[in-house]
A = this chain, B = another copy of it.
């Protein structure tokens, strides 16, 4: 099975706090790196973790609160200074492009590579990336400014060929792609060998949803069912529920309820307020509702 994991680069909300950096995470799908959000200091975190910058081709920005994107311009500049040639795709709100451009113009910088901007909508689901193996969809969150989450979904694996049976029936290699796609095999005499005899069910496809800053949103939970892993912000604990609501953030218990309603396999909570030095109470609060909850920790990698 292909590697599908997420490395937390920053788990802090609004302000950096001790060993918690500003929001950013790196999704690795079979060696392809997707950066989600890029708070100040993200490039420094990437260096510390020895991530090879040039392998990042896609950057997703959930919304334009500074703790989620003030590190983007520094990363863009560093890629230029390192002599990048490959295109960089940036997905996010429309105002990102002028913000990046204005800063590059101020330093008379003409980038060594091309940035291709893809606008996300804060209003509806959108397929924003697709290749042979995965799709990435943005979906609206409920926050003070237009904000999206991102769903990384593996495509169905091809059916798994049972080599012994295939040999027994004399099926040539050239027919394997048809079998993998689920088609039956026709012998020269016109008789049929059912696909189910020649192949096994593949492993089910996996999915990972990043739910950035948002009010608790039950309706959304129903729209991203059955993810293996959900990341959801948990800025506050329940005793701060009123503050959370006013700031359009979620509590740890709400993140857990979200994961429960969404039928998630596991939940990763992050985006912690700097008011919490010790995060265990947040973890405990969430686990009461959804036992398979884990704390996002800077520098740590979680399998999807």
Contact = CB atoms under 8 A, between A and B. Distances in A.
A298 interface: no
Given A99-B103, A102-B102, A107-B64, A44 B16 contact: yes
A122 interface: no
Given A15-B81, A16-B43, A81-B14, A107 B66 contact: yes
Contacts of A74: 22, 40, 66, 70
Interface string A68-87: 00110110011001100000
Residue of A93, A105, A106 with most chain B CB atoms under a 10 A cut-off = A106
Interface string A83-119: 0000000000101101100110111110000000000
Contact of A71 (B40, B98, B106, B145): B40
A144 interface: yes
How many copies of the shown chain assemble into the complex?
2
Interface residues of A, number: 36
B77 A66 contact: yes
Contacts of A106: 64, 93, 95-96, 99, 145
A248 to B, nearest CB: 12
B144 A108 contact: yes
Max chain B Cβ within 10 angstroms of own Cβ: one of A21, A41, A93, A144: A41
Nearest to A22: B74
A142 to B, nearest CB: 15
Interface string A18-57: 0001100000000000000000110110010000000000
Contact of A40 (B14, B40, B81): B40
A22 B16 CA distance: 17
A113 B254 CA distance: 33
A103 B15 contact: no
A261 interface: no
A70 B108 contact: no
Contact of A99 (B43, B66, B102): B102
A65 interface: yes
Given A106-B93, A107-B64, A107-B145, A77 B70 contact: yes
A102 B64 CA distance: 11
A71 B71 CA distance: 8
